[in-house]
Amino acid sequence: MEVGTSQMATTENSSAPLIPRKPRHKHLKRLQKGKEKEQETLEVTHTPQSKPTEPSSSKPPLEDDDNIKKSASWSWALLTDSSVSSRPPLFTKDYSSSTGPSSSQDVGHSAEITSILINPQNTFQLISSSLDGCIKIWDYLEAVLLSTFNFKQPITHMCAHDRQPNYVFITTTSFDSVKSHEDNNNQEISKVYRILLRPTKVTADLPVQTPVEKLKIGKVRNPTGLAVSPSGEWLVAIGGPKAYVCPMSSLQAGFTKFISNEPLTCLAFHPTQEYFATGDKKGQIRLWYCLDSSLVASSKNVDNDKEKHAQTTMLHWHAHAVSSLAFSSNGAYLLSGGEEAVLVVWQLHTGKKEYVPRVGSPIVSIAVACHENGEEEYLLALLDGTLATIGSTSLRISKSFASLKHDSTLWGTGPAPLAIHTLTSTVILPSSHPSSLLVHSPSTSTAVAELEISPTNRVSRRDDKQILPLRVERVVISHNGQWMATVDGRPDTADFAREVYLKFWRWDAASSTWNLNSRIDRPHGAQVVSGMEFIPSYAGAGPYLVTCGGDRNVKTWRIKSITSKAGQEEFWVCRSTFGYRSKMPSNIVGSPDGSLIAVSYDLYAVLYDTASNRIRSTLTCPDLRDVWHMAFIGESGQYFVITDNRMVHVWDLVASTVRWQYLVPHTIYSVIPHPKEDSFVVLFADQDQLTCIYKFMASSSSIKFSRTLPFKLKKVLWYPFGVTRKDFSLVGITYDWTAVVFGDRVNINQGEGASANGIGGDIVPQRRSLFQDMFGATAFDDLLSQAPLPASTPVAGVHHDSVSKTSNIFNVSSYQLSPMSTLYPSILENLLKERVFEPVTEKDGEEVDRPDDGDVQMADEHVPETTRTPERINSSQEIEELVELFKGEAFCASKSAISSYKHLNGNGSVKGTNGVNHVTQKSSTPHKMVNGKHHVEEEIDEVETPASIGKKRKKKT
């Protein structure tokens, strides 16, 4: 790529220092008053004859330009969800669900879901509450919303009992309290109500109804739990260092307060006895024996305001706050979990305990499921979004459910690592720990692997101070997908000096893993790495990695090869170091062909030659106050875009001129070019901290379209999967560490459970299995016949209905199997089908003469190549099963069954090739080697090859 030579326009004294940068608020005034003085003093790189266009007004002319589409919301989809519900998962007889933010904006909640429970009067219904102040009743089998009750206050907790039909108990707060709670203001006073889920007459026919009755029970400060005893006789709430107890028989009397030493965090009722357990912030577990009518007031009096002490039993193991408690179904065991990532099983009558250590992440909630056979399972919801199932007898993790592992609480406010690996169509994302990265497959919506960039001993903190781990700050992948570079480190603290590590990883296609190749400690001294970019190979050299850092240097890195006893070894070394006028570099981009490296320095964008590191051009102009973002545009890279906080500048590098400028309404935080066409998008945040996107063409300053997104992004990249040449598709990480895909066409697999589907929905039609071929149709055949089978291309000689996995037949108990003598003939009869051949005719309709004596060869003429349909290959498991069946039953099968196969050929032999059963004639002709391969010359009378159809054959002479 050639760049025009730039002439530098300076003041009379060429050695005069550059004018220092002015404050940004003054810069906004100068945009309106003119810039004659600055044009005389600041250096420019466009030719003096080319005058840059005047910037547009601060308000983009969306209404005046006919080519601009009205601002609309861009389509987007979640790759990860950074929020994890603190409410335990809920089990039904045949279905399980967990609470969390609702993604449906049509019928779902508009704020975070705080509680979900089974309707005590109808086990096929769910009742959910949310901070939007609504209670919704759902039919979870059909995924249908039945009714909505608006309480008009945020609901933080909810519970119900079958002895209180159509009633629910809730804790509510004001919307101002919710906002202050998000701002870490713990002064939250909530009220507890009993609500009758019946609408008023006025709202009975409306989609959003008002409950006909509500009864205020009392107030709770900073509530953390609300529950009804299994007997239905007691209502208990916890908040702060107090437990609030109220008998159901006298709700008007209000709560009786029992004091604790520490703030309480969780609550659980014993399933058979009248006492409950709580956990506190110091890791203590208390069993409360205060559900006694003699201790609780039965009428409203002044004694209710007095704080009382109750008889308790204390259990202590946890070093930090207890996050969740749950009793086993028989009440013999108490389960507890917290930040230590250890499940503790307490045997209540002896006080002994057992542990399930290293479950993978801090435990958020615990649920107990009891199966029909009496066996229990413990379901743990972890902070990284994983659901882990533990058997009650083995106390081992039997299975886990996690599409993505992500914990936003440990990442903080630093840069977000994000990269695209095109070889495997995967996205590199932040993982559940700051020292690791997650390899995510958007096509399957699953986590492929977790790459530990910096080995970390993941133990809980010893005291209130959090241990600061090494954190992955940047990740880039080379254009050929063979190399990945990461930067991880730890800032200066009172306990640790700054640590910075640059690591190179090589992709191993055989094992589908990233392997560490090189590590460079302190690549820019004790300073941070502020920019990093892979430059593609150019003129036979490369690829290169270019980094810039706080030491004011730019470094290039290359691959070095040496020969040792182990063979050829490759590793990365520093290739060159350079700078520009002792200025601080902040960003690096490379041209599409790898010939140029662009580095931003304050007011300048400097273009370097990749091979020689020579400066090719320096780009700046009077309107440019600071280089925030820059990018090469299109496949050719002729155009170059630079932005400061609000102004967009587009250069024509060949002509060395400023093509045009544009002033956007708000602060720009990202610029993404289209890799195939000369266009780019500018992303900026409006006054509501939402994202606005303008699309520009490099040739014009007119906006091609305007889009909006309901979130602000920390990092944005081009998303290359499943898009057309002209579409824009991007992937980014929001400020709450949620990964999203957005653009013109968003087509990713959302995974199971991403949308609401009825459990008893339509049955997807399936092909007939081998079991159905042998034993007849199933009861679902009527449903299957209503929808056509998916079309497929038939393969000659392959009978798809009968080559299903034979192992499915034996996936039952042995006593349920039919006799082997019965199964064996049926299997072979369905696998070995007689091939039907129709006579081949010429164009005039006459049948082709088929001489049957002597060997036959094709005429010496050109035979067109035929395209073979890919053939099915039998797995080794199928072959072994058929061999075992043949050994056991071949000589025991009935004669009638054996004779039924004799019509296939003269001797009953079957030859298999690549899973296709071919019928062959028995011949005594010996094998010959033709071109290094075995060849059998046969006399073929009936069987034709595809190439011989329609050809007359000559008798061999």
Range among 361-365, 409-413, 913-917 with highest mean pLDDT value: 361-365
Q: Report which of residues 532 and 832 the model is more confident about.
A: 532
Among 227-236, 426-435, 735-744, 934-943, the range scoring the smallest mean pLDDT is: 934-943
Q: Is the pLDDT of residue 655 over 50?
A: yes
**pLDDT per residue over 142-178, tens digit each?**
888 999 999 989 999 999 999 999 999 999 987 555 5
Q: Tokens standing for 886? A: 């043949």
- Three-state SS at 606: strand
Q: Report which of residues 54 and 774 the model is more confident about.
A: 774
pLDDT at residue number 328: 93
Cβ-proximal residues to 147 (8 Å cutoff; 6+ apart), any chain:
136, 137, 197, 199, 209
pLDDT at residue number 686: 80
Q: Is the pLDDT of residue 313 over 60?
A: yes
Cβ-proximal residues to 77 (8 Å cutoff; 6+ apart), any chain:
740, 741, 742, 746, 748, 750
> What is the rounded average pLDDT for all residues in the chain?
75
- pLDDT band per the 50, 70, 90 thresholds, residue 64: very low
Find out whether 458 and 450 touch, Cβ atoms under 8 Å: no
Q: Is the pTM of this model over 0.75?
A: no
State the DSSP H helix or E strand holding residue 782, giving kind and residue range, or none if neither. Answer: helix 781-784
pLDDT at residue number 175: 56
pLDDT at residue number 355: 93
Q: Is the pLDDT of residue 675 over 80?
A: yes
Q: Which residues of 594-628 are buried (b: 16+ CB within 10 A; e: fewer)?
A: bbbbbbbbbbbbbbbebeeeeebbbbbbbbbbbbb
- pLDDT band per the 50, 70, 90 thresholds, residue 745: confident
Angle, helices 876-889/820-831, rounded to nearest 10 degrees: 130
Q: Is the pLDDT of residue 554 over 90?
A: yes
CA distances from residue 376 to 330, 389, 433, 476, 501 in whole angstroms, order as listed: 10, 10, 31, 46, 47
**pLDDT per residue over 506-552, tens digit each?**
999 999 999 999 999 999 998 999 999 999 888 777 789 999 999 99
Q: Report which of residues 831 and 339 the model is more confident about.
A: 339
Q: Is the pLDDT of residue 466 over 80?
A: no
Q: Is the pLDDT of residue 784 over 50?
A: no
pLDDT at residue number 688: 73
Helices (H) and strands (E) in the chain, counts: 8, 64
Quote the CA–CA distance of 944 and 263 in Å, as a whole number. Answer: 85
Quote the CA–CA distance of 7 and 617 in Å, as a whole number. Answer: 9
- pLDDT band per the 50, 70, 90 thresholds, residue 771: low
pLDDT at residue number 35: 36
pLDDT at residue number 716: 94
Quote the CA–CA distance of 468 and 56 in Å, as a whole number. Answer: 47
Among 279-293, 485-499, 611-625, 628-642, the range scoring the smallest mean pLDDT is: 485-499
Among 115-129, 816-830, 897-911, the range scoring the smallest mean pLDDT is: 897-911
CA distances from residue 247 to 157, 253, 277, 312 in whole angstroms, order as listed: 19, 8, 17, 19
- Closest to 258 in 3D by CA, of 217, 224, 293, 304: 304
pLDDT at residue number 653: 92
pLDDT at residue number 756: 53
Q: Is the pLDDT of residue 843 over 90?
A: no
Quote the CA–CA distance of 743 and 76 in Å, as a whole number. Answer: 7
Q: Is the pLDDT of residue 918 over 80?
A: no
- Name the burial class of residue 529, with classes exposed (0-12), middle (13-18) and buried (19+) by CB atoms within 10 angstroms of its CB: buried
pLDDT at residue number 840: 47
